[in-house]
């Protein structure tokens, strides 16, 4: 027999009241005054409007950089082995070098393969000794996947820094990223932010070569000519002395009335920075951001604290933007906007209206059917339906779930599914009464025996929802999340709450006839 213990009753009531309390913000007209911990369900792009950007990761630029680094390694390897070579150059397709000496060629191939994992060396068929060094397909696929994953991670950090609520950021295809920004009707500032790779490095200025000499071609291979943010030009040492990947933080501070960007290195970067500034006092250190010098201050004394500042003609906004970019990290590859769509709030309102209308109609149909089919017990089930929807909304609000149009479809589906368990229970109770059992025994057997069937049927639905969530993306995942929450709450309300109501009715009225 079902025990109506006080603790059991209090726990069930507490769960119901908590769900209702968490769902209340969804029905408050002015949601801006609500505290942060008590917020409504977030609406997706299709419900509240916003912007959608399809970004393409420019792999070619990364591959050129990768091959340029490999070119330096090949050059170093050949020099260490004192091998004569010609026409060493790199492109996005690989590194090419000509080794005329047939005997040295095999040794060179062997040394090239050891430079990195996944390298293959091919030789042209004309016998002139032209070698091409490149990565095999597996290594190239790993590299591209890593670039996409890094890009998604950094795009997410930059979007989160802007305070955009519940953005959807996911890979699409082999080299594209989909960014959906609910509530953002003008994505221009976001596009500008995402368009910057924010790759920052520190280079020593080549004091032995001036700009005029560099323009005439009188420049060492270890140096290069580069433009500054204000139109001036610099000759810098090609290899950075400290990389931007060693930055751990960047914030806007003020030098008097002028905004500056203060930065801090990790332990490795701080040690390198201290070493460089100690060994090159009275020389200039160029700060290069996205292949442009933004500042080239003089090193007046060693900087050993692991931090420094970037000065320039910053406004407060530009300094904030730069600090944000440096905090979120450098994109491994430039991003190009391939497609831009804006969903108006009016279209979202129409979707909400249609979804709410469908929910109300479906809800009303289920309520009427249950009352007609099961009388008083049907009315009890209808009460649990209201609780089910309230607890669902409460859980989704608490979790910060984003509700999309497919999510509304999941809610409507759950409303229909929520009564399935009660129908199984009531039909089993009816059968037991027809076989001569007492009302109390029939109710106990009905709830107990039908429970196994209810669990089995809901587990299969949960399995399907898990598959949808794992393999799906965007709206499909939203549907899976809503469906999963709905199954869990309907199990609670359909079995636990409805049984509590039936047992309470049974204990109070001690009926002699079943209202079915």
Same domain, 189 and 102: no
- Asked whether the predicted pLDDT for residue 165 surpasses 70, the reply is no
Q: Which DSSP string corresponds to 300-355?
A: -S---SSEEEE-SS--HHHHHHHHHHHHH---SS-EEEEEEEEE-HHHHHHHHHHH
Same domain, 233 and 308: yes
- Overall domain count for the chain: 3
Same domain, 325 and 350: no
Q: Is residue 441 part of a domain?
A: yes
Residue 232: CATH number of its domain: 3.30.1360.200
pTM: 0.62
Q: b/e map of 427-458 (b: 16 or more CB within 10 Å)?
A: ebbbebbeeebebeebbbbbbeebbeebeeeb
CA dihedral 294, 297, 301, 302 (to 10 degrees): 20
Same domain, 357 and 492: yes
CB-based contact 303:269 (threshold 8 Å):
no
Q: Is residue 516 part of a domain?
A: no
Rg (CA), the chain: 33
Residue-wise pLDDT for 36-86, tens only, equals 888 888 887 777 778 888 999 888 878 887 888 788 888 888 888 888 888
Q: How confident is the model at residue 497 (pLDDT cuts 50, 70, 90)?
A: very high
Q: Which of 113, 140, 167 is the last residue of a domain?
A: 140
Token output for 167? 């953005």
Residue-wise pLDDT for 186-240, tens only, equals 788 788 778 777 777 889 999 888 889 888 888 888 899 999 877 889 999 988 8
Q: Is residue 1 part of a domain?
A: no
Q: According to the model, what pLDDT value does residue 87 have?
A: 87
Same domain, 101 and 11: no
- Helices within 400-434 (DSSP H only): 405-418, 420-434
Same domain, 64 and 90: yes
Q: Which residue has the tokens 């950090």?
A: 157
Q: How far apart are CA 427 and CA 189, in angstroms?
A: 60
Token output for 353? 């209206």
Same domain, 281 and 242: yes
Q: Is residue 426 part of a domain?
A: yes
CB-based contact 384:490 (threshold 8 Å):
no
- Asked whether the predicted pLDDT for residue 515 surpasses 80, the reply is no
Residue-wise pLDDT for 225-279, tens only, equals 999 877 889 999 988 888 777 788 888 988 888 888 888 888 888 888 889 989 9
Q: Residues 181, 174, 467, 355: is their CA dihedral positive or negative?
A: positive
Q: According to the model, what pLDDT value does residue 348 have?
A: 61
pLDDT higher for 438 or 125? Answer: 438
Q: What is the mean pLDDT of the chain?
A: 85
Q: How confident is the model at residue 393 (pLDDT cuts 50, 70, 90)?
A: very high
Same domain, 324 and 244: yes
Q: Which DSSP string corresponds to 140-194?
A: HHHHHHHHHHHHHHHHHHHHHHHT-SS-EEEEETTTEEEEEEET-S-THHHHHHH
| DSSP SS3 for 199 | coil
Same domain, 241 and 94: no
Q: How far apart are CA 327 and CA 251, in angstroms?
A: 8
- Asked whether the predicted pLDDT for residue 1 surpasses 50, the reply is no
Same domain, 161 and 304: yes
Q: Is residue 267 part of a domain?
A: yes
pLDDT higher for 138 or 45? Answer: 138
Q: Tell me how far CA of residue 204 lies from CA of 283, 312, 432, in angstroms.
A: 8, 18, 89
Same domain, 367 and 478: yes
- 183 sits in the region (left: phi over 0; alpha: psi -120 to 50; else beta) called left
Q: How far apart are CA 232 and CA 239, in angstroms?
A: 21
Residue 455: CATH number of its domain: 1.20.1640.10
Q: Is residue 515 part of a domain?
A: no
Q: How confident is the model at residue 20 (pLDDT cuts 50, 70, 90)?
A: very high
Residue-wise pLDDT for 325-373, tens only, equals 777 766 778 888 888 887 766 556 776 778 778 878 888 888 999 999 8
Same domain, 367 and 480: yes
Q: Which of 339, 359, 386 is the last residue of a domain?
A: 339
Q: Is residue 514 part of a domain?
A: no
Phi, psi at 242, each rounded to 5°: -140, 135
Q: Is residue 179 part of a domain?
A: yes
Q: Which residue has the tokens 């190239």?
A: 140
Q: Which of 140, 171, 191 is the last residue of a domain?
A: 140
Structural domain harbouring 377:
6-48+344-509
């Amino acid at each position: 027999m079902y025990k109506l213990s006080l603790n059991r009753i209090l726990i069930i009531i507490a769960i119901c009241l908590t769900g209702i309390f968490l769902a209340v913000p969804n029905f408050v007209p002015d949601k801006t005054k609500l505290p942060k911990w008590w917020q409504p369900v977030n609406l997706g792009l299709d419900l509240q409007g916003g912007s959608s950007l399809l970004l393409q990761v420019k792999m070619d630029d990364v591959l050129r950089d990768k091959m340029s680094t490999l070119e330096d390694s090949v050059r170093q390897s050949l020099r260490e082995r004192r091998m004569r070579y010609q026409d060493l150059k790199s492109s996005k397709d690989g590194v090419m070098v000509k080794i005329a000496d047939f005997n040295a060629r095999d040794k060179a191939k062997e040394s090239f393969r050891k430079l990195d994992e996944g390298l293959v060396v091919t030789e042209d068929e004309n016998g002139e000794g032209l070698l091409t060094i490149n990565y095999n397909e597996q290594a190239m696929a790993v590299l591209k996947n890593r670039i996409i994953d890094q890009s998604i991670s950094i795009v997410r950090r930059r979007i989160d820094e802007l305070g955009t609520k519940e953005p959807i950021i996911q890979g699409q295809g082999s080299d594209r990223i989909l960014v959906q920004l609910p509530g953002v009707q003008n994505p221009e500032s976001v596009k500008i932010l995402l368009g910057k790779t924010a790759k920052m490095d520190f280079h020593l200025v080549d004091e032995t070569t001036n700009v005029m000499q560099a323009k005439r071609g009188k420049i060492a291979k270890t140096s290069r000519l580069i433009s500054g943010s204000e139109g001036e030009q610099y000759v810098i040492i090609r290899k950075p002395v400290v990389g931007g990947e060693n930055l751990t933080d960047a914030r806007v501070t003020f030098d008097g009335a002028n905004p500056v960007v203060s930065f801090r290195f990790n332990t490795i970067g701080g040690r390198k920075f201290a070493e460089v500034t100690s060994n090159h006092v009275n020389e200039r250190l160029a700060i290069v951001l996205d292949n442009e010098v933004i500042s080239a201050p003089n090193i007046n004394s060693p900087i050993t604290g692991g931090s420094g500042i970037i000065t320039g003609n910053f406004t407060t906004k530009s300094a904030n933007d730069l600090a944000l970019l440096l905090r979120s990290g450098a994109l491994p590859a430039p991003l190009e906007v391939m497609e831009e769509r804006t969903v108006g709030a009016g279209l979202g309102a129409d979707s909400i209206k249609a979804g709410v209308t469908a929910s109300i109609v479906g809800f009303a149909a289920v309520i009427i059917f249950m009352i007609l089919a099961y009388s008083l017990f049907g009315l009890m089930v209808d009460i649990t339906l209201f609780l089910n929807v309230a607890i669902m909304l409460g859980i989704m609000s608490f979790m910060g779930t984003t509700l999309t149009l497919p999510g509304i479809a999941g809610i409507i589906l759950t409303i229909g599914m929520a009564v399935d368990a009660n129908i199984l229970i009531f039909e089993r109770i009816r059968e037991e009464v027809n076989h001569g059992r007492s009302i109390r025994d029939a109710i106990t057997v009905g709830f107990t025996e039908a429970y196994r069937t209810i669990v089995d049927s809901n587990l299969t639905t949960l399995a399907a929802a898990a598959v949808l969530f794992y393999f799906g993306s965007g709206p499909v995942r939203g549907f899976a999340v809503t469906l999963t929450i709905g199954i869990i709450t309907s199990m609670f309300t359909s079995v636990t709450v409805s049984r509590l109501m039936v047992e309470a009715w049974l204990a109070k009225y001690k009926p002699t006839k079943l209202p079915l």
